[in-house]
Structure 1
């Protein structure tokens, strides 16, 4: 039961084409900074730049008035996920107004973890992401705060998410595929505000769009 964890890897340049949270988004020429379609109408905050085998995932979430816009809801318009091509991306300048950038950038490295299933509750299958995240805290050795290094995972299946919460593509209304988990971050400056919850990223490859929600 292998899981590809995203692990904190120090700081990174804000416009680097590496896995990271924070910094500035890299997007195709002419791309317009996404705005909140819920209640505030302001610019979304850039959360994560995640290169994957089929392109780059770019995640934006509204932070202009936390709690007012339903940034946790995949259908609220208060978040956006884009699938950009791997080539030809340029740094985007953020709008002058609004909460657009995180205070700090976190570099991300990936580690494939194969944890041993624990006993768990009788009759309940173990959750792969939960096991891998817990396993990282123990291997290759105990140290205080090590589990906070886990910034999420790529691929696999959405941890403990009920089928009725799986989002449809915002463009074609078709099914989306699970792409990533996101954890808030290693410290206050680099943290993405997820309301203390786990973030889920889904994508529709044909539409180059995706969806985001929290549990």
Structure 2
């Protein structure tokens, strides 16, 4: 079985507790220490947030886009991206930093659709055919195992040293004009619950 993330275009711009891409992130009381790039030192760009219903939390994904391609933002350990986990209570939209490329203006949501097909690529194609929609309307998947474009790059947790748990695979988005920048590839989100809040890492392949 594969749990697909399907584009939901009628997004409530004020929603805070759901999986969303673009726009502003959500955090308790609207407070968040905006992450900065470990390479250039500038503020990162918010890519999206993923609901973790089991832990009642959100995973917020950031990536440096101040000078794309120069901050090794594809790597899980080089400081060009960041995953933050926040508790899913008292959520408010965070006011983005005005310094740097910090937000993508188009915001869209996602609904979860289950497919009996275990292979992500086939599940995505089957949904597209059945729905009569472009495969770009599939935003990725939650859980299961990653479908690597290249070799396995499962990162290790900085706290416990163990391989992190795969959480989500992300496509760039439904419209190339507002897409995340994975060089036409996929992003991969990982999480480890050995600390509170949990630690997360992100990488992309093309």
TM-score, normalised by the number of residues in structure 2? 0.89
For 1:1-215, what aligned pairs fall within 5 Å after superposition?
2-17=1-16, 18-29=18-29, 30-38=31-39, 40-53=40-53, 54=55, 55-115=57-117, 128-140=119-131, 142-143=132-133, 146-160=134-148, 162-163=151-152, 165-207=153-195, 208-215=198-205
Q: Cα offset for 1:103?
A: 2.1
Any stretches of 5+ residues in structure 1 without a counterpart?
116-126
Contact 1:15/1:23 (8 A) holds in 2 = no
**Are 1:37 and 1:76, in contact at CA under 8 Å, matched by a contact in 2?**
yes
Give distance in 2, aligned partners of 1:92 and 1:68.
27
Cα distance in 2 between the residues matched to 1:101 and 1:15: 15
SS at match of 2:99: coil
CA displacement at 1:195 relative to structure 2? 1.3
Q: Aligned to 2:203, what secondary structure does the other structure show?
A: strand
Give the drift of 1:14. 3.8
User: Structure 1 residues 85, 149: closer, same or farther in 2, change over 3 A?
Assistant: same
- The runs of 5 or more residues in structure 2 that have no matched partner are none
CA contact (8 A) 1:13 1:105 kept: no
Q: CA deviation at 1:84?
A: 1.5
Structure 1 residues 13 and 139, CA gap change in structure 2 (3 angstroms): same
Change (3 A) 1:183 1:94: same
SS in 1 for 2:83: strand
1:64: how far off? Answer: 0.6
RMSD between aligned residues: 1.7
Which structure is larger by alpha-carbon Rg, 1 or 2?
1
Q: Name 1:122's counterpart in structure 2.
A: none
Give the secondary-structure state (helix, strand or coil) at the position aligned to 2:101. coil
Whether the 8 Å CA contact 1:102–1:189 is kept in 2: the answer is no
- For the 8 Å contact 2:22–2:103, the answer to whether it is kept is yes
CA distance in 2: counterparts of 1:45 and 1:10, whole angstroms: 21
Change (3 A) 1:134 1:154: same
Residues 185 and 136 (structure 1 numbering): CA distance in 2 closer, same or farther, change over 3 Å? same
d(CA) in 1 for partners of 2:174, 2:114: 20
TM-score (norm 1): 0.85
